[in-house]
Structure 1
Amino acid sequence: MGGQNHCTTTVNESKERLQLFIIDESSLDETTAEQDLCVSLKADYERQFKKAVKFLNLSVKGTLSDKVQDSDGVVKSLIAKINSEEGLEQFDVVEIFLLTLTATVSNKGESIQPRKVHFEDDFLKVKYEKDNVSITKDILILKKVIDLNFLASVIESRGNREPLTINFTRDFKKRIEVIQAADERNFASYLCVLDAEVISGLYKRYSSRLLEKNVRSFLQFKGVNKGIKETIRTKPEQFIAFNNGLTVTATNAIIKPYKKSQYLEALTDFQIVNGGQTTASIYFSHKEGLDISKVKVMAKINVAKNVAENDLDNLISNISQFSNTQSRVSNVDLRSKSPQLRTLKSLSDSIITPSGFRWFFERAKGEFLTKVRHAGSNGNRLKKEFPRERRFTNMELAKYYSAWGNSPHLVKKGGEKIFRHFIEMLESEEEATEKVQIDREFYEKLIAKIILFRRMEKIYGQGKNSLGQLRAAVIPYTLSVLYIYTDASGSGKSFNLERIWKEEDIDTELQEYLKELMILMNELIKKYSASEDFNEYSKKPELWESIKECTEIQNLFKKSSTLSIFKKYTISL
């Protein structure tokens, strides 16, 4: 198929991967015959990919700028970027995606059948100057067709990513000797040594897909990562002794014999579940010019046979928890891969506030710092785009969400305890428990709860000018009281969180009322506490039971200030 093509581009988060999206506009033509939309020849797609590869070649050579119309500023900027020393140093990989409404088929047999096509890698050899040194490198060019077959597979998999299959023999021309350490009915384990070039090549080719089931993001070159980089620089031969290595999971392994030894050929559903920091550190050290040729890394490969997806996730969590010794992995880290949290992350990435901003949900520990580092010179812009007041972590999410409820004593416990309570509520499969729907309405109300909680922290204050010394207890207790007298009161009224979302703040009248309520709550915690350690006793359910329906609270909710706020800030269900 020929026809017209439209092209758009993006760059991945770690900035080393340029992504070109070619739209096959001829496939969008309603007059195109059905048989023309069934593509059986790989060459039909190859012709379109060649146009993109030619575009890249001419851009690098600098012969394309004058041929592009001045009105096409985006394309001219892209060409200038590709042709610049900065761009040539930045990009290690170019992914070309062909978006088409064709179906890739095979005509062999009695009926037409859908099929996949695999495209060989291309390499673009480039030269540039860095610190007065001439550098030559190969930019890897990857090609993929996004056709109707692909879309059907996505729908059928219900959003799950396609398992990642690594063929070491084909992609890296390496024989990797392995020793089998275990072989059980549903489980096998292998030990091997990987050259750093293989690890760097894996990250270059597959980027963060390698680490999807990893419990943490790459946490900059500090702490353990700084040590990894320093070892590569000064003692590369001793790297294998100093580093804990990688732990890999897979659902299938192809192991072949050769000269009385066993060699790893391929792994299906490949994931690095421990050693993600090592992997990324090796790649970025190599990108910065460090020699990794003498670096070797121990790897343990765990192959789960005939394991369901949920069981595989549990296995990975256990492997991460028990095998990780480089730095502590918390239960919050382990649960960060929850499907519900992934959905919430997608919402935070896409939903814009009424004033035109986005919030950043840090689903995995260190995610924002990773993003800032990978942004390079744009790191400061990213910090301005997402200031601290518009970011929240997993544990903060649990605290803010749970404070608007009937368990402020659990919120006071904080940390992993409130996160565990939150995630169990979120993923509860009990019939008596109403399923929480993570959608746009949930997200907007969540942001409203965060704004409300953080404004109350400012109202309460800290130090000499604060309302007291019990802020961590007073705020969740106050919000929970407000919740049970509105949303949970059975009156048919709910607190108008939508208004806070739209205004992205709370007005002076509500601020004054919350201050009044917090001053009272400060005294009630002291009055009804059975211990002189008020902060510690506020973690007990007995205190909450004593306070939520006490006379002082009931009297406050009969006052004109409460009635005025409820008239203004409640809506009918």
Structure 2
Amino acid sequence: MITLDTFAKEFLEETLGDTQANNSSQEDTFTEKFCGYLVDAEECFDPQVCFFKKTGMKINAYEYREETDTLVLFISSFDAINHVRKINAKTIEDLFKRGKNFFVKSLGGLAETIEESHEAYALAHLIYEQRGNWSKLEVFVVTNGITNNQLPLNEDFDGINIIYRVWDIERLYQFAHQNIGPELLKINFVDEFGRTLQCLRTLDENEVYTSYVAIISGEMLAKIYEKWGQRLIERNVRSYLQATGKVNKGIRDTLLQEPHMFLAYNNGISTTAEKAVFSGNSETDETLALEELVGWQIVNGGQTTASLYYGLKHKQIDLSKAQVQMKLTILKDLSQADLVVSSISKYANSQTKINISDFNSNDKYHIALERLSRSIWAPNKDFRGKSTTMWFYERARVCFATKKCRVSRPFCA
């Protein structure tokens, strides 16, 4: 297997070669190349190279995650001569400060001092325009040197959670050549929320999966989504849209006006996981205390989850009163995970479309008309003889077709 020294040397040579070929700066080329690996590692999804440097400030790229009000800033430390140079903690700390300072200064109107034609103007303007909405800032330092793995503690800045991350050439090498893969999605309910999640296990045993049903608080689900973002719903076939559609607006209105009714009104979420850890229960118990989930995925209910997250940021919404029904499927054979999870997501999202008119079918006057149509004959057309024809009021779609099917073919599906 290739060694770290060889990998670092080749990475440097490729970066310098690409710089000449693309007629770009060394740092821009390095940043773009490094971020490509980070996308593969699922640390980011669509980073934009954007170089800006001023006294006490520096950024090399960014990613705006609108769905979680998160901004990710990347600060590069590139050495064009030494491919495995050691970088001390003070240097890394200084780079973190430069990235944070850019964000803080932008909140205060830094964009006014930047030429509109500069690529950093749009970012600084975005930060300013979204002031008051930001929930998280992730500051990444990426370097082709080797760090000591000491990071400053995460901090809170005016209600914004600031997280510091480092990827050096050694970590990049580990990911690229030792198949470390992306960070494991793990939720420990005890450590993160101070309690377990009560689950009811189904009695039907099979070789493919074990299924559970639980009630999870809207606040807990929103905070999990706040931490993991799109990674939590990456297997969901639908993406979340802004609350302009009628379905999302309905979720939002329920959270605003009747959060205690959320469980009754909402269909809940369907989820899968690679592993579940239960505490203090035997394998035969039907009710279990869920302590930890590994590889958790929401395969149906992405709109519900993301809407709850937005509710978390809305001061007028009390998510502690909102409860969500959760179906949890634990796969026994992980080699079949992609197929099974894909099928669950597919079938959960392929039900017959329901129109708004279908929901009105239970209104009292519709029910009354339906009953009348079953008991009152249609008048004779010349009003002289007795009635010979019945009439049918179709309260719900395809009700008439279903009735005909049952009359003509008793076992018609």
Q: TM exceeds 0.5?
A: yes
Q: Conserved in 1, the CA contact under 8 Å of 2:279 and 2:289?
A: yes
Give the structure 2 partner of residue 89 of structure 1.
Answer: 132
How far residue 9 of structure 1 moved from its aligned partner, in angstroms, is 2.5
What amino acid sits opposite 2:86 in the alignment? Answer: D
DSSP 3-state at the match of 2:279: strand
Structure 1 residues 299, 20: closer, same or farther in 2, change over 3 A? same
Q: Conserved in 2, the CA contact under 8 Å of 1:246 and 1:275?
A: yes
Give the structure 2 partner of residue 165 of structure 1.
Answer: 186
Q: Conserved in 1, the CA contact under 8 Å of 2:111 and 2:125?
A: yes
How far residue 234 of structure 1 moved from its aligned partner, in angstroms, is 2.3
Count, aligned residues: 292
What pairs with 1:222-371 in structure 2 (closer than 5 Å)? 222-257=245-280, 262-291=288-317, 292-308=319-335, 311-324=336-349
Give the structure 1 partner of residue 61 of structure 2.
Answer: 8
Per-residue CA deviation, residues 118-163 of structure 1 (Å, 9 max, x unaligned), is 87543222xxxxxxxxxxxx22223322233443455358897554
How far residue 203 of structure 1 moved from its aligned partner, in angstroms, is 2.3
Give the structure 2 partner of residue 122 of structure 1.
Answer: 155
Distance across 2 between alignment mates of 1:326 and 1:93:
36
Q: Conserved in 1, the CA contact under 8 Å of 2:96 and 2:164?
A: yes
Q: Conserved in 1, the CA contact under 8 Å of 2:237 and 2:346?
A: no
Distance across 1 between alignment mates of 2:233 and 2:162:
21
Gaps of 5+ in 2: 1-55, 355-413
How far residue 241 of structure 1 moved from its aligned partner, in angstroms, is 1.4
Structure of greater relative contact order (alpha carbons < 8 Å, 6+ residues apart):
2
How far residue 316 of structure 1 moved from its aligned partner, in angstroms, is 0.8
Structure 1 residues 93, 188: closer, same or farther in 2, change over 3 A? same
What pairs with 1:165-204 in structure 2 (closer than 5 Å)? 165-181=186-202, 187-204=209-226
Q: Conserved in 2, the CA contact under 8 Å of 1:19 and 1:96?
A: yes
What amino acid sits opposite 2:298 in the alignment? Answer: I
1:155 to 176, 183, 186: 176
Give the structure 1 partner of residue 72 of structure 2.
Answer: 19
Per-residue CA deviation, residues 234-285 of structure 1 (Å, 9 max, x unaligned), is 2211111121111111112222239x97433332222110111111122234
Structure 1 residues 265, 276: closer, same or farther in 2, change over 3 A? same
Per-residue CA deviation, residues 40-78 of structure 1 (Å, 9 max, x unaligned), is x7x875554344345544554x39789x78799555665
Give the structure 2 partner of residue 100 of structure 1.
Answer: 143
DSSP 3-state at the match of 1:88: coil
What pairs with 1:11-90 in structure 2 (closer than 5 Å)? 11-12=64-65, 14=67, 16-25=69-78, 28-31=79-82, 34=84, 36=86, 45=92, 48-57=95-104, 59-60=106-107, 62=108, 78-79=123-124, 81-82=126-127, 84=128, 86-90=129-133
DSSP 3-state at the match of 1:217: coil
How far residue 187 of structure 1 moved from its aligned partner, in angstroms, is 3.0
DSSP 3-state at the match of 1:267: strand
Distance across 1 between alignment mates of 2:273 and 2:305:
17
What amino acid sits opposite 1:281 in the alignment? Answer: S
What amino acid sits opposite 2:189 in the alignment? Answer: F
Q: Conserved in 1, the CA contact under 8 Å of 2:59 and 2:99?
A: no
Gaps of 5+ in 1: 106-115, 126-137, 330-573
Per-residue CA deviation, residues 455-500 of structure 1 (Å, 9 max, x unaligned), is xxxxxxxxxxxxxxxxxxxxxxxxxxxxxxxxxxxxxxxxxxxxxx
Is 1:210 paired with 2:237? no
Q: Conserved in 1, the CA contact under 8 Å of 2:232 and 2:297?
A: yes
Distance across 1 between alignment mates of 2:151 and 2:195:
20
Structure 1 residues 209, 327: closer, same or farther in 2, change over 3 A? farther
The structure in which a higher percent of residues are helix is 1
Distance across 1 between alignment mates of 2:352 and 2:181:
29
Distance across 2 between alignment mates of 1:325 and 1:225:
18
Distance across 2 between alignment mates of 1:242 and 1:157:
47
Q: Between the two proteins, what is the percent identity of the paired residues?
A: 29
Distance across 2 between alignment mates of 1:50 and 1:174:
36
DSSP 3-state at the match of 1:20: strand
Give the structure 2 partner of residue 512 of structure 1.
Answer: none
DSSP 3-state at the match of 2:212: strand
What pairs with 1:129-144 in structure 2 (closer than 5 Å)? 138-144=159-165
Name the Cα RMSD after superposition: 4.0
Structure 1 residues 279, 30: closer, same or farther in 2, change over 3 A? same
Q: Conserved in 1, the CA contact under 8 Å of 2:239 and 2:302?
A: yes
What amino acid sits opposite 1:203 in the alignment? Answer: Y
Q: Conserved in 1, the CA contact under 8 Å of 2:260 and 2:321?
A: yes
What amino acid sits opposite 1:30 in the alignment? Answer: I
Q: Conserved in 1, the CA contact under 8 Å of 2:57 and 2:98?
A: no
Q: Conserved in 1, the CA contact under 8 Å of 2:85 and 2:145?
A: no
Q: Conserved in 1, the CA contact under 8 Å of 2:59 and 2:73?
A: no
